[in-house]
Amino acid sequence: MSQASNRSAELICTTNPGLEDLAFEELQQRLDEGGLKGTASERLPARIKGRLRIRYPGPLSSLVQAAGTLRSVHHLLRPVEQFLLPTETPLSTVGERLLEAPLPEMGPSTPFRVSSERRGEHPFGSQDIEREAGTALVERFGAPVDLTGYAVEVRVDVVESLCAVTVQLTRKALSYRHDRTYRPRVSLKPNVAYACLRLARLGPGTERLLDPFCGSGTILMEAADLLPGTELWGSDWSQRAVAGARANLEGAGLEGAGLKDRFRLQAGDARTLAELYPPASCDALVTNPPYGARLGRDIAFPRFYRDFLEQATAVLRPGGRLVVLVRKRGAFNVAAQRTPGLRIRHVQIIETSRVFPGIFVLQRSG
Ligand SMILES: C[S@@+](CC[C@H](N)C(=O)[O-])C[C@H]1O[C@@H](n2cnc3c(N)ncnc32)[C@H](O)[C@@H]1O
């Protein structure tokens, strides 16, 4: 993480749209744990989805330190300024604003880079924004552009007509946690896995957690960090996924935490869970079945969800939670409502890579 300025005490955390509230809740918790109770209570309106903007009464460095431990977010940004782009001269306006924007991090010998994310219809691309902003900063500071060895990363993000200039304080995304040898395209981002686990309200009393569509094991890896005393069970009908999840868990350096003794991975169909696991043996199930896009295009989802939920109910202990991230929200909702012994407690719609799955939190009746 690069040095944060102490002059400003505002911070932006980026996350998936839909997870901003959860990220704020987590931040408050981290501040409490760091002895900074109640200090980040002011949440400012963020005009861009997936951004949590906080004002902090103490030094920014303390806030950055606490926020650096967040599991639900991707990056930490220091807000610089926001402005609207005129339709006629959008790019030259970016350049002009960067000639004036308050950037105390920059100096004549500070290697820097500009990055940009763009959303909406524009007659220019994100590379044009980067070029325009980079040229302005070279002109202003005489600083060298260095795409890999940079000390400062200036972000110039454009969402529709809004342009947000920030300094990115995290080099690697906080959501990038473990190097993985097996990473299928459908694997979940660890911060979304964290959000699902958080919604399951697990704690030291959670003896056993099951992910019956474990894929590369993201949810189990996240749980291994969070719940040191919990047994972690995972299954997937693909032998390749089971072997990959095992390699990932072993390679993640989690074995030192006694993981070998507490994880159990096996191949199996989530529609026959009752044959794989004893009745009422799991305190919680947290999982991410195929979306039906890249994976599972030929699945008849109403039936698939019904079969899975019936089996999940059988292996879940009374009162236990079942958290499922699904893309076919309508079909899942119907199946959940029709499954005896399950109640829907909460549904949270999020955005991941331009799709809008829902996190369903269900509970087995006591
Ligand atoms: C969306 S992926 C899960 C991704 C996982 N959360 C990760 O981070 O890698 C869905 C997984 O479900 C598995 N799957 C599909 N149908 C299944 C079934 N009937 N029973 C068990 N696993 C199944 C697939 O092999 C795939 O690994």
214 CA distance to ligand 1 middle (Å) = 6
Helix axes 190-199, 218-226, angle to 10 degrees: 60
Q: Which atom of ligand 1 is nearest to the CA of 270?
A: 20
If asked whether residues 150 and 200 sit together in one domain, one would say no
178 CA distance to ligand 1 middle (Å) = 20
Q: Given 168, 202, 231, which residue is the final one in a domain?
A: 168
219, part of any domain: yes
If asked whether residues 111 and 238 sit together in one domain, one would say no
pLDDT at 298: 86
Total tally of structural domains belonging to the chain: 2
Distance of CA 12 to the CA centre of its chain: 15
Mutate to test the pocket of ligand 1, among 178, 186, 216, 307 (most ligand atoms within 8 A of CB): 186
Spell out the residues 6+ positions from residue 259 whose beta carbon is closer than 8 angstroms to its own.
Answer: 224, 232, 249
181 CA distance to ligand 1 middle (Å) = 17
11 CA distance to ligand 1 middle (Å) = 36
If asked whether residues 159 and 194 sit together in one domain, one would say no
**Cα dist. 93→99, 136, 180, 284 in Å?**
10, 11, 42, 52
If asked whether residues 202 and 333 sit together in one domain, one would say yes
141, part of any domain: yes
For the chain, list residues with pLDDT below 50.
1-6
If asked whether residues 164 and 206 sit together in one domain, one would say no
pLDDT at 261: 77
CATH of the domain at 75: 3.30.2130.30
* Tens-place pLDDT, residues 293-306: 877 778 899 999 99
Please provide residue 105's backbone torsions phi and psi, each rounded to the nearest 5 degrees: -70, -20
Mutate to test the pocket of ligand 1, among 189, 197, 213 (most ligand atoms within 8 A of CB): 213
Spell out the residues 6+ positions from residue 172 whose beta carbon is closer than 8 angstroms to its own.
Answer: none
The whole-angstrom separation of Cα 169 and Cα 75 is 7
pLDDT at 250: 85
**Strand pairing class (152-159; 316-326):** unpaired
Q: Given 137, 168, 199, which residue is the final one in a domain?
A: 168
* Tens-place pLDDT, residues 345-356: 999 999 998 899
The whole-angstrom separation of Cα 363 and Cα 366 is 9
290 CA distance to ligand 1 middle (Å) = 6
72, part of any domain: yes
242 CA distance to ligand 1 middle (Å) = 10
The whole-angstrom separation of Cα 18 and Cα 13 is 13
Q: Given 168, 202, 223, which residue is the final one in a domain?
A: 168
Task: Find the residues whose C-beta lies inside 6 A of ligand 1.
Answer: 184, 186-188, 213, 215-216, 218-219, 236-238, 241, 269-271, 288-290, 295-296
Q: Atom 25 of ligand 1 has which residue's CA nearest to it?
A: 238
Q: Atom 13 of ligand 1 has which residue's CA nearest to it?
A: 213
**Cα dist. 326→143, 205, 310, 361 in Å?**
47, 27, 16, 11
Q: Compute the Cα dihedral for 181, 185, 190, 193 and give only its sign.
A: negative
Question: Two tokens at 53?
Answer: 């903007």
Q: Which atom of ligand 1 is nearest to the CA of 183?
A: 9
Q: Count other Cβ atoms within 10 Å, centred on residue 205.
A: 8
Domain carrying residue 97: 10-168
If asked whether residues 264 and 148 sit together in one domain, one would say no
If asked whether residues 92 and 135 sit together in one domain, one would say yes
The whole-angstrom separation of Cα 19 and Cα 23 is 6
**Cα dist. 55→24, 37, 64, 149, 227 in Å?**
12, 14, 12, 30, 31
